[in-house]
Amino acid sequence: MRNRIALCCLLFAGVLAASASAQSQAQPGPITAIKAGRLIDPDSGTVSTNQVILVQGEKISAVGPNLAIPTGATVIDLSRLTVLPGLVDAHTHMALTYKEQPENNYYYLTVVMDSTALRAIQAASNGIQLLNAGFTVIRDVGNNGLYADTALRQAIEQGWLPGPTVIPSGIIIGSTGGQLWPTPEMYKQHNIVYPEYLDANSPDEIVRAIRENMLFGARTIKLCIDCKPWGYSVEDIKLAINEAAKGGCKVEGHVQTPEGAQRAIDAGIYIIAHGNALTPEHHRQMGEKGIFLTGTDTPFTRYRGTDAAFKQVVAKLRDAWEKKVPLTFSTDFDYWNDRMKDEKTGEWLSRGDLTIAFIETWKAAGIPPADILRAMTITGYKAADIIKERGPIKQGMYADLIAVAGDPLTDIDALRNVQFVMKNGMVFKKDGAMTAEKFFHPGPVRIPSGRWTR
Ligand SMILES: [Zn+2]
């Protein structure tokens, strides 16, 4: 007992020392002055010209026209560019890349063949590729092995590597089997496709699963509402929302049936994932209640999708926009194939290029650029539940901002060519160049023998 008290004292002293050093880190650092030729406020869809943004340490200390630049400040001249908040992918999967080789695009097999350790390294690479494309925030909602997502968040927050702010869900919670249909051997022995899903079949198990995820670093909770015919009831979902709130988390519901969508709406869920099962009536209710949609609106490209599926996705997105659903930009990007190359140059597209390509769906839906930009920024920050500290370019917020040539308010494709990225007040990309860019790929592009091997 005595030893235990001594150990507690030691631990407590350690915590105190850690918090003291955190305070010293919080001291404002050197000043950077950014000259912004054009500065977009995506919330209002307006532009101000010739602005100066002062950044001290990690945060914005002042914004305005003709601000005096303090002596000794580092000046970054973006006077020929358009500056805007960093972009948000509100539904993606950093530590999952299912492939044609070796798993025939079947993520049961990804789970079996790729360790969490390998997936965590993929996640780190994907995070860097997304940051390079201007995404400074991602919601990473499951299918990340045994918590590669929360490890990625921690690693970026701790400063091990550059990457977006990650809002991870931990393991997806579902009733028996999650999204998969495991065999009796897989299910009963719980050692093959697990930990991809956390089984929670009763109120007690739902509470336990949520607490477990939050214990391991989740910042949002993801529920499979109707992945099985029995699914979760309105009461189950309300219980989950209530429990998640205790740890500061909002709940996203994966829905794939109209009935499941209705239960999620009735329970007052924060976010509904995937637009496929939603009807105009669901959109109307979501617009009225302010329920966010992470529609994961896949474009039809050379390397993915079909024209018929695309037309359906476009029509649903259009209807959701008309019904004023709070729309986020979201991709569900978690796959790779060897057709993912630039048609003209033959070079690999990065995970960032492949992510930003989702604006094609939004353009096809005839959504005005200002509304697309709002979905990609302000609404994304709200859905990620970090709008109080990140997003708007104003005093007191983290300095997460990007710059592009041209005007995304009239030509959304301007976002495809991000020239400058600042995250937490640090410059990650300048004059269009991240020097390590060529090292990163959206999949295992180097297979020396030509055949997959561990
Ligand atoms: Zn997903």
Helix (H) or strand (E) holding 426: strand 426-429
The alpha carbon of residue 110 and the mean position of all alpha carbons in its chain are separated, in whole angstroms, by 21
pLDDT value, residue 13: 44
DSSP 71-130: TTPEEEEEEEEEEEEPEEEEEE-TT--EESTTTTT-HHHHHHHS-HHHHHHHHHHHHHHH
Per residue in 216-264, pLDDT (tens digit) is 999 999 999 999 999 999 999 999 999 999 999 999 999 999 999 999 9
Q: What is the DSSP letter of 329?
A: -
Distance (Å) from CA 340 to ligand 1 centroid: 20
pLDDT value, residue 344: 94
Distance (Å) from CA 91 to ligand 1 centroid: 6
Q: What is the DSSP letter of 54?
A: E
Q: How far apart are CA 53 and CA 73, in angstroms?
A: 12
Is residue 362 predicted with pLDDT exceeding 70? yes
Distance (Å) from CA 46 to ligand 1 centroid: 32
Is residue 86 predicted with pLDDT exceeding 90? yes
Distance (Å) from CA 1 to ligand 1 centroid: 48
Is residue 19 predicted with pLDDT exceeding 70? no
Q: In which band, very low, low, confident or very high, does the pLDDT at 22 lie, cut at 50, 70 and 90?
A: very low
pTM of structure: 0.91
Distance (Å) from CA 117 to ligand 1 centroid: 20
Find the mean pLDDT for residues 268-292.
98
pLDDT value, residue 7: 43
Nearest to residue 218, comparing CAs of 272, 274, 146?
Answer: 146
Distance (Å) from CA 172 to ligand 1 centroid: 10
Share of the chain above pLDDT 70, in %: 90
Distance (Å) from CA 332 to ligand 1 centroid: 5
Distance (Å) from CA 436 to ligand 1 centroid: 28
CB 93 within 8 A of CB 111: no
Distance (Å) from CA 296 to ligand 1 centroid: 8
Is residue 11 predicted with pLDDT exceeding 60? no
Q: What is the mean pLDDT of the chain?
A: 91
Distance (Å) from CA 412 to ligand 1 centroid: 24
Distance (Å) from CA 355 to ligand 1 centroid: 13
Per the structure block, which two tokens stand in for 261? 């969508």
Is residue 75 predicted with pLDDT exceeding 90? yes
For the CA atoms of 443, 446, 451, 454, what is the dihedral angle to 10 degrees? -80
Q: How far apart are CA 213 and CA 235, in angstroms?
A: 20
Distance (Å) from CA 60 to ligand 1 centroid: 33
Q: In which band, very low, low, confident or very high, does the pLDDT at 158 lie, cut at 50, 70 and 90?
A: confident
CB 402 within 8 A of CB 390: no
pLDDT value, residue 395: 98
Lowest mean per-residue pLDDT among 102-106, 406-410, 438-442: 438-442
CB atoms within 5 A of ion ligand 1 belong to 332
Per residue in 281-325, pLDDT (tens digit) is 999 999 999 999 999 999 999 999 999 999 999 999 999 999 999
pLDDT value, residue 15: 42
Find the mean pLDDT for residues 109-136.
95
Distance (Å) from CA 170 to ligand 1 centroid: 13
pLDDT value, residue 159: 85
Lowest mean per-residue pLDDT among 123-132, 179-188, 409-418: 179-188
Is residue 5 predicted with pLDDT exceeding 50? no
Distance (Å) from CA 143 to ligand 1 centroid: 8
Q: In which band, very low, low, confident or very high, does the pLDDT at 8 lie, cut at 50, 70 and 90?
A: very low
pLDDT value, residue 227: 95
Distance (Å) from CA 81 to ligand 1 centroid: 34
Is residue 273 predicted with pLDDT exceeding 80? yes
Distance (Å) from CA 248 to ligand 1 centroid: 21
Distance (Å) from CA 149 to ligand 1 centroid: 13
Distance (Å) from CA 92 to ligand 1 centroid: 6
Distance (Å) from CA 4 to ligand 1 centroid: 44
Find the mean pLDDT for residues 62-68.
94
Helix (H) or strand (E) holding 15: helix 2-25
Distance (Å) from CA 51 to ligand 1 centroid: 38
Q: In which band, very low, low, confident or very high, does the pLDDT at 450 lie, cut at 50, 70 and 90?
A: low
Distance (Å) from CA 406 to ligand 1 centroid: 32
